[in-house]
A = this chain, B = another copy of it.
Amino acid sequence: MNEEALQALLEQIAAGTTSPSAGVARLRRLPFEDLGFARLDHHRRLRQGAAEVILGQGKTPAQVAAIARAASGEPAGVPGNVLVTRATEAMYEAVLAALPEAVWHPLPRAITVERVPRTRGHGTVVVVAAGTSDLSVAEEAALTADMLGGPVETIWDCGVAGLHRLLAEVERLQRARAIVVAAGMEGALPSVVGGLVAAPVIAVPTSVGYGTSWGGMAALLGMLNSCASNVAVVNIDNGFGAGFVAASINRG
What residues of chain A have their CB less than 8 Å away from a CB belonging to chain B?
A: 3, 6-7, 10-11, 13-14, 16, 19-21, 23-24, 27-38, 40, 44, 53, 58-59, 123, 130-133, 159-165, 167-168, 170-171, 174, 177-178, 185-188, 191-192, 194-200, 202, 205, 207, 209-238, 240-242, 244-245, 248-249, 251-252
Contact = CB atoms under 8 A, between A and B. Distances in A.
Shortest 5 CB-CB contacts between residues of A and residues of B: A211-B236, A188-B188, A161-B195, A10-B20, A32-B167
Nearest to A47: B198
Contacts of A211: 205, 207, 215-216, 220, 224-225, 235-238
Contacts of A202: 232
Contacts of A34: 31
Most buried by B among A161, A219, A230, A244: A161
B3 A24 contact: yes
A177 B31 contact: no
A230 B171 CA distance: 27
A42 B215 CA distance: 34
B227 A244 contact: no
A131 B53 contact: no
- How many copies of this protein are present in the complex? 8
A7 B27 CA distance: 10
Contacts of A130: 227
A240 B229 contact: yes
Given A14-B16, A188-B222, A35 B164 contact: yes
A88 to B, nearest CB: 16
A229 B213 contact: no
